[in-house]
Structures are given as structure tokens and as C-alpha cells.
């Protein structure tokens, strides 16, 4: 469903904020925080993926405004659209693109839930509204924390437990908040600054544990946080041993395997020199919990952080690409539900950072060396983060291109003009043939993002020069840039969809010359088939049948070296293309290498067929049987078979 976002009424003037159903954050998300000292360009980076099956990805924009005294703001719940009440509007509100404002303040979140008895359904403010309010009212991360905690103290907090990532050009903070129970009208919270040079992450579980009680520069908390936990029986020790997550969000196995595991994967990839055993996230009793912050092995670039948002636990014990549910093409994606039961036993599928249920995600840059409209860059992508393209939107933009704009389409209304639907089509084409198709998509992704990143310094310089002349000139330039980059992305992705459809039609693969090959299934997957139904599927040779030779049907012929392209590497320079032609027979090799050349099939006893006999691969060759180029006369018409023996 979709709602009007704002309505102004004159007596008294009332502003209605209603977050669109399709663009709101979700309850299953991932967020990473990178401090300026931990980034390669000195920027604070915040990431966020909004993941839910009901999410349509689009980009919100709130223009800056000055409001008359007495203006009230009507609050609607971000998840349901229910009217919750009114609060006084700020005198001035700042422009916001997505979840970054014109002062480079950025907010992301993940829902940790926590103790269900602490939800207060009488509160006026939900977490979605709070994020928008803070971004429209705060110039720094610390101000954003002030706005959030002051608003819930005055108007009440109605959401479940939330972890907020809050960054500005100088620092990054994690704020964790939970309600005080029905009718309490308050929220309990703690906020910690990520130390300079460190990174952090959260993924639907509370991450703050024990914290300094007397370090207000780096740690802030509600004055009743610990006493309230004691009163409720959540904690009984001395203040110095208080642990926020243990008190307000006790662990279960799902929080480890589906939530903390995503944080673990961020940490293992950002600091591979450190030991990161999987024991904790798979529920081994007594295993060491994850730290709140880590120092990465090297400073992270924007591209590095984008890569973290595309993680599937690759090359780890949790890598989902190799169990039965991965299918013949090693897909890391799993259909819902993630938790399932069979014969009274409960099981899980892995839940990596990148998922097909993502509505949108972002990677933000806040850079102290530039004025706000130029320094803030909101890299925005829709649908699955693994297959998306992050398009740069500077904090100074004035409008959103149609492809990303609210109202272009919805989760129940398709449009070719919608970036979400276009990216969703490409990703869904890839899912059932993942290992076969993904590299084509990733090449196009790198092509676009690499171009955007390579041009960033040039764009920064141009925008800064315009800003010095007039901030409005810089805003116009950056707005036009966002529209151009969006158009470029949409054009490339439409082209990519057509290319994929033609190349991989019906499970076959066409090369650049249109010649068709059939990749079939990997040896690993064929062994799974044999293990399950081998006896039933085994080919039987009947006594009356001829020898089960394999007939070879060439998909096409090569008539010159140009047609061969890279395959010509082992073809003799003096090969007689004027009288002979070549065709390709695939082997079962696993190593990328040019095909061997060249075999000549020999006539059988009666001369009716040509027999092709390929030499076996050497026993000590780990690569297996190579592809072979087969040579025959141009006029040859006889069938070609490969004998069974």
C-alpha cells in the first residue's frame, strides 16, 4: 500500500509525515560502522540493508524547510500506517536523501527485538519515524542521539528493541534502545562510540555488553538502565558487571546462527589475520563471544565495504554453496522459512548478509574535508546487495530520478521504469543458475561501480569549485549527476537482462559467435544424483543393442583463427583452414585453459562413421580431461561417434 507523505493544514498548521510502506526499514537487517581512522579516505561509513519479503526498494527525499511557530507533526507508524498522534515540529528541518542529511549525518538500524514484555504500544514514536526526525533535526551524530532520546522521553517509544548506527564526518556511534513496558512512556538505552581506527557491526541482535559507567565522552546511557533491569529481575550483580544484551536481549540459537554470524563474517573478512573460529555463532558452549569493535587489518575503501555487504559466508564453514539445497549451480540462497522442522527436529538454513529479500541497501560516506552537500555520498542500491549496483547520491541533491523515486512502482505493481524491478529480474534470472551466470552480472556491476568510483575525485573537485561560487550551483550539478548515473545504470541493466536471456536460453550457453554448448551438471552434483538414485538411473546395455557409442553433434564449426579467438592458442599457425574445419568437444576439466589441439577422427570398419578417441587425462593431472578441438575436412558429412570402449 502507499500513503500520502505529508499534508499541510492551516489552522493550526499541521505537517503529516507518513513513511511509505514500500520504503521503510525492516526487521531483518545488517549494518556496519567504519570510523574515519579505519577508512582509506578518512570518511565515516555506515551501511544498512533493509531485508524483508514485503519490501519494495525506493529512495525517499525530504527537502529542507522552515516551519511556522505552532506547527505540529502528525505521526504515522512506519510499518502499519496507523495514526499515532502529533508532536511539535522543529522550527527548521534539514534536507534528507534516504538516511543521510545535508550535514552528512547518517543513520542505519537493525531490530534486535529483546524482551517482548517491554514493548509499549502506547508510545507515539516508532523507530522509522525516529530515524527521519533525527536526520531532519541533527547536525552531528551526538545531536542525533540527543534528538532520539529526548523525543522518546517526551513522547514514548513503541517499537521493539533497536540498534541504531549513527555517523557523521568525525565519528560513529551505536545506540541500542528498548521500551520500558506497556504504558511506561519511556525507553531504556545505551550508546557507545566506536573507537577511532575501529569498525563495528550489528545484525538483529543487541551488541552492547558491559560498558564504562563513567566515560560520558564515549559512552552514554539512561540513568535508570541498570536499576530498571534489577527491578525486573533481569540482572542482580554489581553495576560494573551489568551487560546490556544479556539483560535486555537474552541469546537463543537463532540469534547466534542467523544474526551474530553475519557480524562474525564481517569481522573475519575485515581482519583475516586474527583467529575467528565459528564456535560461538554455531552455538558451541563456552565459546568466546564476539567483541563489539575490532581494528581491521588494513583501512577499508568504499569498494571494500560494498563487498562486505555482499557476503554469503564464502570460503567459511558456514558457506551455503555446497549442501544439497545449493542445487546444481551452487546457489548460496535459501527459500524461506529459514527455520524448519522435520520428524520433530528443528533445523536452520544459513542467513548471510546478502539475501534475495533485500528491498534496498546503502553504503554512506561522510567526509570532514568537504562541506555537507558535497562531502556526504549516499551509495544506494535496490534488491539483492550481491547483484545490485550502488549509485552515488550526494547529500546536496534536490530530487530523485524516476527509477528510484517513490511511486514509480510497488511490490504489487511492476514497471520497466523501476530500478527495483529491473534489478530483481536480473537477480531472479541468476538464482537457479547461480555459478553459471553470476560472473556476467558481476562484470557489469564492476564496470558501473568502478566507473563511478574512478570519477569520484573529479566530481568532488567540480562540485567543490561550484560550491565556492554558490552552494546552489553545486546542488544543481550533483542532482544532475545523480540523474545521469541512474540513467546509465538503468540502460546497462536493461541491456544485461537481454544478454543473459539470449546467452543462457534453456540451460545452454552461447559464446560470442552464437555457438551453443550444454554445460550440464558438475561432477559433484552428478555424484549426488548417483548417490540418491544411481541404481534406478543407470544406463543398461541390452544384449540386442549395438555398442552404446556417444554420437557427437558439433554445435558449430570454426573456419579461421578469428572465429576461434582465445581458443586458437594451441592451433598450429599453418593449420589448413582452406581445406579443413574445427569443432569443440568439451572435457570435464576444472582448470581454465585453452583447448588442446587437434584430434582427427578415423573411419570405422565399414567407413560409415568417424570414430573419435580422446586420450585419457594423465593420472597426475589435477585439472582433468581438457576440451579438445577436432579437425575434419570441410566436406565431411559422416556421423562422428566416441566409442564406449
- Give the total residue count for the chain: 645
Give the whole-angstrom CA distance, residue 320 versus residue 471. Answer: 49
Neighbours of 260 (CB within 10 A): 22
Burial of 106: CB neighbours in 10 Å, binned 0-12, 13-18, 19+: buried
Closest CA to 395 of 418, 414, 371: 371
Contact 118, 180 (CB under 8 A): yes
CA distance 31 to 467: 31
In terms of pTM, does the model score above 0.75?
A: yes
**Do residues 385 and 357 lie in contact, with contact meaning Cβ atoms separated by under 8 Å?**
no
Rounded Cα gap, residues 456 and 374, in angstroms:
11
Cα 621 to chain center, whole Å?
Answer: 38
What pLDDT, on a 0 to 100 scale, did the predictor assign at position 489?
Answer: 98
DSSP state of 300: B
CA atoms within 13 A on the CB side of 117: 7
Q: What is the mean pLDDT of each run of 10 residues along the chain (645 residues)?
A: 32 35 56 98 98 94 97 89 94 98 98 97 96 98 98 97 98 98 96 98 98 98 98 97 98 96 98 97 97 98 98 98 94 94 96 97 98 98 98 98 97 97 98 97 98 98 98 98 98 98 94 86 91 91 74 86 91 94 85 89 90 85 86 92 80
| 3-state secondary structure (DSSP) of residue 22 | helix
If you compute the radius of gyration of the chain from its CA atoms, what whole number of angstroms results? 29
| DSSP H helices in 60-159 | 127-137, 141-155
d(CA 192, CA 500): 47
State the pLDDT at residue 13.
35
633 C-beta neighbours (distance < 10 Å), count: 11
Quote the cell numbers at residue 602. Answer: 578415423
Residues 191-220 as b/e (b if ≥16 CB within 10 A, e otherwise) read bbbbbeebbbbbbbbbbbbebeeeeeeebb
- Smallest Cα–Cα separation from 374: which of 443, 461, 304, 313? 461
pLDDT at residue 168, rounded to an integer: 98
Secondary structure letter of residue 505 according to DSSP: G
Alpha-carbon span 54 to 27, nearest angstrom: 11
CA–CA dist 90, 59 (Å, integer): 23
Residue 110 CA to residue 105 CA, distance in Å, equals 17
- Centre a 10 Å sphere on the Cβ of residue 153 and count the other Cβ atoms it contains: 14
- pLDDT value at residue 3: 30
As given in the structure block, the three cell numbers for residue 161 are 528493541
Contact (Cβ atoms closer than 8 angstroms) between residue 427 and residue 356: yes
Beta-bridge partners for 378: 364, 393
Amino acid at each position: 500500500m502507499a500513503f500520502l507523505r505529508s499534508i499541510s493544514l492551516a489552522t493550526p498548521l499541521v505537517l503529516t509525515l507518513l513513511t511509505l510502506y514500500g520504503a521503510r526499514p525492516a526487521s531483518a537487517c545488517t549494518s556496519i560502522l567504519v570510523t574515519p581512522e579505519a577508512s582509506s579516505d578518512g570518511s565515516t561509513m555506515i551501511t544498512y540493508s533493509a531485508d524483508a519479503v514485503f519490501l519494495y526498494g525506493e529512495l525517499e527525499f525530504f527537502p529542507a524547510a522552515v516551519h511556522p511557530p505552532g506547527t505540529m507533526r502528525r505521526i504515522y507508524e512506519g510499518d502499519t500506517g496507523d495514526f499515532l498522534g502529533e508532536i511539535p515540529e522543529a522550527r527548521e528541518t534539514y534536507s534528507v536523501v534516504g538516511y543521510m542529511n545535508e550535514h552528512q549525518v547518517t543513520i542505519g538500524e537493525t531490530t534486535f527485538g529483546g524482551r517482548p514484555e517491554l514493548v509499549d504500544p502506547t508510545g507515539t514514536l516508532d523507530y522509522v519515524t525516529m530515524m527521519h526526525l533525527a536526520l531532519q533535526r541533527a547536525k552531528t551524530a551526538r545531536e542525533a542521539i540527543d534528538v532520539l532520546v529526548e523525543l522518546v522521553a517526551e513522547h514514548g517509544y513503541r517499537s521493539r528493541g533497536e540498534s541504531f548506527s549513527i555517523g557523521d564526518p568525525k565519528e560513529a556511534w551505536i545506540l541500542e534502545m528498548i521500551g520500558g513496558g506497556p504504558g511506561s512512556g519511556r525507553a531504556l538505552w545505551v550508546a557507545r562510540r566506536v573507537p577511532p581506527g575501529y569498525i563495528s557491526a550489528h545484525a538483529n541482535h543487541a551488541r552492547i555488553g558491559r560498558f564504562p559507567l563513567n566515560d560520558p565522552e564515549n559512552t552514554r546511557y539512561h540513568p535508570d538502565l541498570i536499576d530498571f533491569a534489577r527491578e525486573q529481575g533481569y540482572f542482580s550483580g554489581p553495576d560494573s558487571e551489568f551487560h546490556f544484551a544479556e539483560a535486555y536481549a537474552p541469546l537463543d540459537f537463532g540469534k547466534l546462527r542467523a544474526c551474530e554470524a553475519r557480524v562474525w563474517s564481517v569481522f573475519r573478512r575485515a581482519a583475516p589475520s586474527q583467529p575467528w573460529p565459528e564456535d560461538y555463532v554455531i552455538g558451541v558452549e563456552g565459546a568466546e563471544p564476539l567483541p563489539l569493535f575490532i581494528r581491521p587489518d588494513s583501512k577499508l575503501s568504499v569498494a571494500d565495504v560494498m563487498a562486505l555487504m555482499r557476503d554469503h559466508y564464502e570460503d567459511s564453514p558456514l558457506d551455503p554453496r555446497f549442501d544439497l539445497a545449493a542445487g546444481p549451480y551452487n546457489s548460496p540462497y535459501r527459500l524461506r522459512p529459514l527455520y524448519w522442522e522435520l520428524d520433530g527436529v528443528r533445523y536452520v538454513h544459513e542467513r548471510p548478509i546478502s539475501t534475495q529479500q533485500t528491498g534496498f541497501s546503502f553504503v554512506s560516506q561522510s567526509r570532514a574535508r568537504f562541506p555537507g552537500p558535497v562531502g556526504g555520498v549516499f551509495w544506494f542500491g535496490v534488491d539483492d546487495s550481491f547483484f545490485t549496483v550502488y549509485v552515488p547520491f550526494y547529500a546536496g541533491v534536490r530530487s530523485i530520478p524516476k527509477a528510484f523515486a517513490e511511486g514509480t512502482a510497488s511490490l504489487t505493481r511492476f514497471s520497466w521504469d523501476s530500478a527495483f524491478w529491473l534489478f530483481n529480474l536480473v537477480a531472479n534470472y541468476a538464482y537457479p543458475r547461480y555459478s553459471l551466470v553470476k560472473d556476467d552480472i558481476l562484470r557489469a556491476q564492476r564496470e558501473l561501480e568502478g566507473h563511478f568510483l574512478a570519477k569520484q575525485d573529479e566530481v568532488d573537485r567540480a562540485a567543490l569549485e561550484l560550491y565556492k561560487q554558490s552552494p546552489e550551483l553545486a546542488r544543481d550539478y550533483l542532482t544532475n549527476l545523480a540523474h545521469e548515473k541512474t540513467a546509465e545504470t538503468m540502460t546497462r541493466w536493461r541491456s544485461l537482462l537481454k544478454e543473459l536471456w539470449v546467452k543462457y536460453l534453456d540451460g545452454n550457453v552461447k559464446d560470442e559467435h552464437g555457438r551453443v554448448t550444454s554445460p550440464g551438471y558438475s561432477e559433484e552434483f552428478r555424484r549426488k544424483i548417483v548417490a540418491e538414485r544411481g541404481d534406478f538411473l543407470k544406463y543398461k546395455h541390452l544384449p540386442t543393442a549395438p555398442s552404446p557409442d556417444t554420437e557427437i553433434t558439433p554445435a558449430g564449426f570454426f573456419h579461421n583463427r578469428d572465429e576461434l579467438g582465445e581458443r586458437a592458442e594451441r592451433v598450429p599457425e599453418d593449420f589448413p583452414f582452406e581445406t579443413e574445419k574445427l569443432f569443440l568437444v568439451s572435457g570435464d576439466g576444472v582448470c581454465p585453459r585453452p583447448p588442446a589441439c587437434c584430434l582427427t577422427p578415423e573411419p570405422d570398419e565399414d567407413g560409415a562413421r568417424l570414430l573419435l578417441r580422446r586420450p585419457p587425462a594423465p593420472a597426475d593431472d589435477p585439472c582433468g580431461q581438457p576440451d579438445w578441438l577436432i579437425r575434419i575436412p570441410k566436406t565431411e558429412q559422416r556421423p562422428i561417434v566416441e566409442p564406449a570402449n
